[in-house]
Structure 1
Amino acid sequence: MKPTPEPDASGPSEDRATPDDLLHTRTGTDVSPEDLVLATGRDISPRSLEWARRKLAAEGPAALEKTLP
């Protein structure tokens, strides 16, 4: 059995928060209803896709930003 490597001491400290600009999920592409359904952890179904379509119509691509932490 190989030993697990030690954590890199030069990496980010666990007591520091991730900067906000690194947390954004938008890639400049359109957000699809499927993207939104999967981001919420739901299964893709006609009902969940309809929910996502309504949410995207009301909130736009920001719906995905609001869903993810």
Structure 2
Amino acid sequence: MTTSQPDPSQPSGPTGERATPDDLLHARSDAEVSPEDVVLASGKDLTPDNLEWARRKLAAEGPAALDKLLP
């Protein structure tokens, strides 16, 4: 198994850490998005009302509903 080496041409932060390149960042996997996922990503509590809100949001927007909530 190989490990990636930091790119010395990239600036490092104050602690010597480097930012993760955008092409390596991702918000979610290809797994099915559940109402619970949407509620938690929104920062809300798992309540019946919030789960119903998430179900409606998923029905209207599909998996993109989660993408819109996550960075």
Q: CA deviation at 1:22?
A: 3.2
Amino acid in the other structure paired with 1:66: K
Listed one character per residue, the Cα deviations across residues 18-42 of structure 1 (whole Å, up to 9, x for unaligned) are: 41x3332121100100000001110
What's 2:8 paired with? none
Q: Given that residues 24 and 65 in structure 1 are in contact (C-alpha distance below 8 angstroms), is that contact kept between their aligned partners in structure 2?
A: no
Give the equivalent residue in structure 1 for 2:36. Answer: 34
Percent of pairs identical after alignment?
60
Structure 1 consecutive aligned stretches of length 4 or more whose deviation exceeds 4 Å: none
Match in the other structure for 2:9: none
Alpha-carbon distance between aligned partners in 2 of 1:32 and 1:66, rounded to the nearest angstrom: 14
Structure 2: 5+ residue runs without aligned partners? 1-13
1:12 equivalent among 6, 12, 18: 18
Q: Distance in 2 between matches of 1:41 and 1:66?
A: 13
* Alignment match, 2:55: 53
Give 1:12 deviation, angstroms. Answer: 1.4
Question: Please, what is the CA RMSD of the aligned residues?
Answer: 2.1
**Unmatched tracts of structure 1, length 5 or more:** 1-5
